[in-house]
Each structure stands twice: as structure tokens, then as C-alpha cells.
Amino acid sequence: MTAEELKSIIAAGLPCEHLTLEGDGRHWYATIVSTAFEGRRPIARHQQVYATLGAKMQTDEVHALSMKTYTPAEWAALPADSR
């Protein structure tokens, strides 16, 4: 799976104001900013992202996905060099 394919899948399942993705085709690191994360704890946010991937996690199309998830307000409050 390519980074663009994975980004498209996540963006189709979540309204993303910001989405970056890096990886080697099996191990991925994402930074996701979404209004869908409002009022949710980090584990629930991650579950939302995993839900967008569906069976791709179980079939090993996406072997590992590490992520930082933010609401738009949390993202805006971060120092620019922390993004």
C-alpha cells in the first residue's frame, strides 16, 4: 500500500483538517487533525482511525500504524516547531 492510498482511506472515513503520513509501506506514522476527535480520549481517537482501515489491519495490508491525533484547537495550540 502506498502513502497516498492510505491517506485516501483515512480521509474518506474521517473529516481531516490536516493529515500527514510517513512510512515504508508496512510501518506508518500519521499525524491527524480532525473535528471528529472532539471530546474523545486518545484511545477512542485511535479506534476511530483504525475503523476507517477496516480489514486492512487484520489482513496485514497495514502492518503498523503509529499516530498522533489532535482536535483543531489542540493542533492550533501546538508550537509550530512541534508539528
Could you state, in order of their start, the residue ranges of all structural domains in the chain?
Answer: 3-78
Mean pLDDT of the chain: 93
CATH no. for 3-78: 3.30.300.90
Whole-prediction pTM = 0.92
- Residue-by-residue DSSP string for 22-58: EESSSEEEEEEEEGGGTT--HHHHHHHHHHHHGGGTT
Instruction: Write out pLDDT tens, residues 18-38.
Output: 999 999 988 999 999 999 999
**pLDDT value at position 26?**
84
